[in-house]
Amino acid sequence: MENNIRLKRNVYKNYIFTLLQSLDFTRGIWMIYLASKGMSLTQLGLLETIFHTTSFLMEVPTGAVADLFGRKISRIMGRVFSLISVILLLSANSFLWFAISFVFTALSYNLESGAGDALIYDSLKEIGEEETYMKVNGKKELFYQAAGIISFFVGGYLATKSYNIAFLLTVVIGIITIVQSLTFKEPNIGRINSKEEKENIFVNQLKESIKVVISKPKVGFLILFTQVIMAFCTCIFFYLQNYLKGNGYTEWTIGIIYAISSLTVALLATQVHSIEKKIKEQGLLLIVPFLTVACIWGVALSKYSYVFFILLMITEEIIYVSMSDYINKMIPSENRATILSFASMVFSFFMITLFPFIGLIGDKFNLTTAFKCLAMLGSILVIANAALLISRKRTHTK
């Protein structure tokens, strides 16, 4: 009984953890900050490529660490690495040290990406409440977006005074987050305890996880679908900072725009399960991608690009919350963190290609042209996705 109570508390502790982890006052300004340090758009693209190359190579191994040695341990290590990355970013003045900082940032994301979701889903599963995961995940997103509102408002304002203050406050919050991450209870589901089972543990874990994905093609499709959408949205999220700055917006104004987007998404997050019930999985897979690409076109072509950016963040939120629930329901606990890390690895693969491409086009021409290229590529992909889904539906109905 006591064990169940502690596992139940994981859910509420995770809301606090999400708030603290996401209180990053550099979120809306780091690209502008690095540009002020002399980095070009191409160099910014290369730094993000370094981040995602590290993430691509280390996602699955770190996911295996979470499955084999504990989600809690993986989460704590992730926070320590995140703190190191912020300190390096604040103190560095060269591309090399910025790159090293991005390596640590990537590792912090790797260690959290599969472990955090697995920790909460398996806590719920162990007490028989896994069916509430979509609601829980939606509420978690509410805290994430609330932290975003604070981060963008405060970070944008501080950036007009001093970038250093924004980074130092983020360091303080990072230390507090490490302490709070020590309070979680590790669920027993999926844990490997015997010494015999730990022989060749990494290789066996990877093999078993790959077998799960191969045996369930729908898992692979949903992972691919979700990560493509998120890669496109992430490119807009980061490069829009420099785009708006170049169009005369101050860091404070940019912070307000990003804060409004977080507020809007926060209000929507807890209602995603209701939206999913109305339009179902097929509706999500067909309608939302078209809306996403329409928003990218709006960012590229409209003088009200910030309005379409906010709408874009809404479509991303709907996809993330709903697809996360679908995927978790189809995979076993003992492979959960590793398979969720596969998803992050797919995201990194697309970002390695897309992010530097946008930076290069932005340097050679301008970011408007880069956004148009992204919108054209997105249009091709959503049309192909729709054709594939309609074809599969017809095949299944025959």
In the predicted structure, residue 1 carries a pLDDT above the cut 70: no
> For residue 196, what pLDDT band results from cuts at 50, 70 and 90?
very low
pTM: 0.73
Structure tokens of 118?
């697995």
In the predicted structure, residue 199 carries a pLDDT above the cut 50: no
> Which of residues 295 and 337 earns the better pLDDT score?
295
Q: b vs e for 222-257, b when ≥16 Cβ sit within 10 Å of the residue's Cβ?
A: bbbbbbbbbbbbbbbbbbbbbbbbeeebebbebbbb
Q: b vs e for 364-380, b when ≥16 Cβ sit within 10 Å of the residue's Cβ?
A: eeebbebbbbbbeebee
pLDDT value, residue 239: 92
- pLDDT (tens digit per residue) in 138-185: 788 889 888 988 998 898 889 888 889 999 999 999 999 999 999 998
For residues 70-84, give the mean pLDDT: 91
Nearest to 44 by CA among 348, 363, 306, 305: 363
> Which of residues 397 and 255 earns the better pLDDT score?
255
Per mean pLDDT, which range of 120-129, 197-206, 307-316 is the poorest?
197-206
Domain ranges (residues) in the chain: 2-184+205-397
Domain 2-184+205-397 is in which class?
A: mainly alpha
Residues 6 or more apart whose CB falls under 8 angstroms from that of 167 comprise: 25, 26, 86, 89, 90
Rg (CA), the chain: 20
pLDDT value, residue 394: 62
pLDDT value, residue 165: 92
> Which of residues 346 and 172 earns the better pLDDT score?
172
pLDDT value, residue 351: 87
> Which of residues 49 and 284 earns the better pLDDT score?
49
